[in-house]
Structure 1
C-alpha cells in the first residue's frame, strides 16, 4: 500500500497559483519592473548632462543629454491591466530620438502627436530639431530600449520572486 503525504499542502499551493493573490502579486512586480525601466531611462538622460547655454548634445547612439528636463520628466509608467504595465515617453519627439529621423527641406515635419508646421512639431525649445535650411537628419539617441535591456534581468527576478512568495503562501 502506498501512502501519499502532503496532498493537502500541494492542493493549497495549486489553488494559490490560480488565485487572485497570484495576479495581485505578479501585477505589483510587473508595475515595479516598469517603474525601474522608467527610472533607468530618466537616469540615462540626466546623468552628466548640462542644461542651459553650456548644453552639449549627446553623441549619436548615446542617450540624449538633458537640457530642459522635458524629455526625462515625461517618461511615465502606467498599469494597463492586471498583469501588464507600460513605460513610455510622452515627449512629442521621443520616437525621433529613439529611432532617428530624417526630414527634407521644404517639407513639414510630422509630429508624433499628429500636428504639423513648417518648423516641425513644436517651435518650443524642447521640441524636435527644426528644419531651417537644407536637409536635416537626427541620428538615433536611444534611451528607452537600452533602459529596457538593462532592467530586464531585474524585472524577471521580481516576477519570479512574486510567484515564489505566493506559492509559499506570502505576499508583499
Structure 2
C-alpha cells in the first residue's frame, strides 16, 4: 500500500479514545474472517466413521471439530490483528501438500468479508474524523 507508513503514523497520533475505537474495529474485522472460516468448515460437516473429505479447492469438511475450534484472533497492536488456525494440520489443508490438494478456508473467508471489514474500519475512522 503506497503511503502505508505515513498513514499508520497518522493513525498512531489519534486521540486515545479514537485509537481504542479503531483497535476494536480492527479486532472485529479479523473476527469476521475467523467466524466465516469456521462456518465454512462446518457447512459440509460429516464427522466420525462416515467422514467424507471435501473436494479439492473447497473448505475442509469437519470431522472432529478441532480445526474450526482452533481458529482465533490475536490482536498484534492497536492497528493490526491476525487470524490463526492453531490445528497442526491447518496449513496443509489451506495450502495443500505434495500429496493432497488444497482445501482453503482462511483465504476465501477473508475475500468473502473484505468489503464488510473495510466498511467497518472506514465507518470507525469517519466517526473519529480521520477518514479521507
- Taking structure 1 as the reference length, the TM-score comes to 0.66
Q: CA deviation at 1:24?
A: 1.2
Match of 1:36 in 2: 32
Shift of 1:20: 1.6
Query: Could you tell me which residue of structure 2 aligns to residue 123 of structure 1?
Result: none
1:80 aligns with 2:76: yes
Cα distance in 1 for residues equivalent to 2:101 and 2:82? 25
1:138 deviates by 0.8
* C-alpha separation in 2, matches of 1:92 and 1:140: 15
Is residue 23 of structure 2 the alignment partner of residue 27 of structure 1?
A: yes
Rg bigger for which structure?
1
Measure the CA separation in 1 of the matches of 2:14 and 2:65: 43
Question: Are 1:160 and 2:111 counterparts?
Answer: no
Q: Deviations over 1:115-172 (max 9, x none)?
A: xxxxxxxxxxxxxxxxxxxxxx11000000000111111110000110112229xxxx
Equivalence for 1:147:
109
Greater fraction of residues in helix = 2
Which residues in structure 2 correspond to 1:19-168 (within 5 Å)? Answer: 19-102=15-98, 137-167=99-129
In structure 2, distance between residues paired with 1:55 and 1:18: 51
In structure 1, the gaps of 5 or more residues are 1-16, 103-136
Gaps of at least 5 residues in structure 2 are 1-12
RMSD value over aligned CA atoms?
1.4
Q: Is the Cα–Cα contact under 8 Å of residues 31 and 73 in structure 2 kept in the other structure?
A: yes
Count of residue pairs brought into register by the alignment: 118
CA distance in 2, matches of 1:21, 1:158: 17
What is residue 3 of structure 2 aligned with on the other side? none
| Off by >3 Å, runs of 4+ in structure 1 | none
